[in-house]
């Protein structure tokens, strides 16, 4: 089981402009920091950070809210026979090796990698405080072969990244995430941008205003 009672955070010292003031682009701001209070404030406002080739310097942070947001409806995850077979040969743990999962997602061999040491440190601290979580996939030899990580706030989960070293390992992690979300009556699984891989698993795009509405519902009891 995962912790659904994270540590209280101080008030964020940054203020994001209201959506009505956001530009008509996926990139809605830059600057600030990666403190836990900043990150959670951002997610609660529909914004997430990511390093980018557009960065103005080593300390520059880009903040994103895609015009077309990728989500996976919890009842629409496509589970193939291959995924079910793979599920039987793996076992899943939650929050036992968060940093290892994040470093698996940050492998320099992955094309388009953006997770650097600054992000790893920030999200490890977020995990320590009970806000970030990892779903970890192990084989029969107790070797970590895949997983995913993200941020939970109430009935909302922001999926950040996933990786696999063996067949279907990341997909099995996703299956367990969705199962846990259903068990906890959660409602919104955010995957940021739609990719062909995520679309094959049941993800779809919704306009930014609809995403922000669904987020508001998920954050309120």
What would the DSSP string read from start to end of 19-85? Answer: GGGS-SSSEEEE-----HHHHHHHHHTT-EEE--TT-SSTT--EEE--SEEEE--TT-----HHHHH
The pLDDT of residue 107 is 81
In order of 22, 29, 79, 81, 92, the CA distances from 88 in angstroms are 46, 44, 13, 11, 10
The pLDDT of residue 56 is 52
| pLDDT per 10-residue tile (average), the chain, 221 residues | 87 93 94 96 96 62 96 96 94 97 87 83 97 98 98 97 96 98 97 96 98 97 75
Work out the angle between the directed axes of helices 36-44 and 117-128 (0-180°, nearest 10).
Answer: 80
The pLDDT of residue 105 is 95
The pLDDT of residue 101 is 98
Spatial separation of the C-alpha atoms in residues 6 and 125, rounded to whole Å: 12
pTM of the entire structure? 0.95
- Paired with 138 in beta bridges are 91, 144
8-state DSSP, 217: H
The pLDDT of residue 57 is 55
All domains in the chain, ordered by first residue: 26-67 (no CATH), 70-219 (3.40.630.70)
- What is the pairing mode between strands 62-64 and 91-94? unpaired
Q: Is 13 helix (H, G, I), strand (E, B) or coil?
A: coil
Query: Please, are residues 98 and 133 in contact by the beta-carbon 8 Å criterion?
Result: yes
């Amino acid at each position: 089981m995962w912790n659904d009672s994270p540590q209280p955070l101080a008030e964020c010292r940054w203020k994001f402009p209201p959506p009505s003031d956001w530009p008509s682009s996926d990139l809605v701001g830059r600057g600030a920091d990666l403190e836990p209070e900043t990150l959670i404030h951002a997610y609660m406002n529909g914004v997430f950070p990511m390093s980018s080739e557009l960065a103005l310097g080593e300390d520059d942070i880009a903040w994103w809210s895609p015009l077309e947001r990728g989500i996976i409806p919890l009842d629409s995850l496509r589970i193939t026979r291959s995924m079910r077979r793979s599920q039987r040969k793996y076992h899943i743990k939650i929050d036992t090796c968060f940093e290892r999962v994040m470093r698996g997602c940050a492998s320099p061999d992955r094309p388009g990698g953006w997770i650097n040491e600054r992000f790893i440190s920030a999200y490890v601290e977020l995990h320590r405080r009970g806000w970030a979580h990892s779903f970890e996939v192990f084989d029969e030899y107790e070797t970590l072969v895949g997983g995913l990580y993200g941020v939970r706030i109430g009935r909302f989960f922001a999926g950040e990244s996933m990786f696999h070293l063996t067949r279907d390992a990341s997909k099995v992690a996703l299956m367990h995430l969705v199962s846990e979300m259903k068990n906890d009556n959660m409602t919104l699984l955010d995957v940021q941008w739609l990719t062909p891989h995520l679309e094959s698993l049941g993800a779809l795009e919704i306009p930014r205003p609809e995403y922000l509405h669904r987020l508001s519902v998920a954050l309120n009891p």
